[in-house]
Structure 1
Amino acid sequence: MTATNTPAFSICVYCGSRPGENTAYTEAATAVGQWIGKLGGQLVYGGGRTGLMGTVAEATRQAGGRVVGVIPQALVDKELANTACDELHIVANMHERKAMMAERSNAFLALPGGIGTFEEFFEVWTWRQLGYHDKPIGLLNTAGYYDHMLQFLDSSVASGFMGPWQMDLIRHGTDIGALLQALVEEAGLAPESQNLRGKI
């Protein structure tokens, strides 16, 4: 963190509330959190304590980063909230949750996840296409998880339902450090130390 305790950047991470069947997913979530924390950043996420959500939050916290969770009351009632967050905002519904997460972030990153992750990723991508924001968006394709989705998106372009410029609004890759660095730089910010690229 800086001397004023202000995060160097704030990244919204969308990911699964389950860990998935491949340990590479948990390893990636841990590495993302470590990168954010070690470079003085802030994680904004869905406020859960289970699955990849809990993993990325704890890794960020352990590495010295700030963690902001935003969770709807219905999930708090199910005892799924992560009370270890630096800030835990309890909101009425998913619409408020997503709006606050977007407002508090400089960039967005989707890790492996289920329909909630897909919906959040596609919505923030749609918002950028429509000009509601101009914040960078990334897709971390750990262990080929998003291979088929990316192939489908390419087929949508080939079929004339999307343009190549829409695909250019998102970044995707497998190198965690390089992808995060690119997102932060595109947001017009710079981590405190750039020599950690590829080392976490």
Structure 2
Amino acid sequence: MAGVNLVSANFNIVMFTKSKINLNRLLGVVHEKGFNPLFTKIKSVGNWDFEDLQIHKQESDPAEINMLMDSGRITLIFGAVQSIKFVVILNKLETIYETSISFDTKNMDYLDNNTLNDKSRPVYDEITSILLRSGMVNDLLISALGVEVIVDYIDNFNKIILNSHNVMRWVGGIEKDISEIKGYKQVSAGIWDKAD
């Protein structure tokens, strides 16, 4: 899932939501931040064994991509923003949607480690503010940020956290049952950073 290797380590944003991420809104936020992503290929697979691989046209619109996801296919959108390669993975898990965004850290070496410092914290903070925006927070259950993140959805947030790896920051959306996370400190409402 989040471990699709682009070249070097991947900085991952993994989101679990009650409904599909609005791809037009997500692209709008990216454009608003001054970036113009270029999609290089779109693939879908029938399962995580990458069976039934299909290649789709780069110009596929969000409605086509949503149809792939609704039909049970895992969709991978490859691209680049400036010199930074990325992949977006969209997956429907019964009634929950998983959106994973992985950035190759080759040209962002300040993110190529699992530490929150003066260089990496602003990136984490900016992504967190986007995740908690109106329109996202209403559907966001929980999100994990870090390098080479491993996290799987389970209908128990404490177990999600316990079974995860390499998460530097948790961002809680509508999930209110999380009050304390072992090994993390709450830095703001709904935000927990890995303790030093």
Question: Taking structure 2 as the reference length, what is the TM-score of the superposition?
Answer: 0.31
**TM-score scaled by structure 1?**
0.31
Which one has a larger percent strand, Structure 1 or Structure 2?
2
**Structure with the higher fraction of residues in helix conformation:** 1
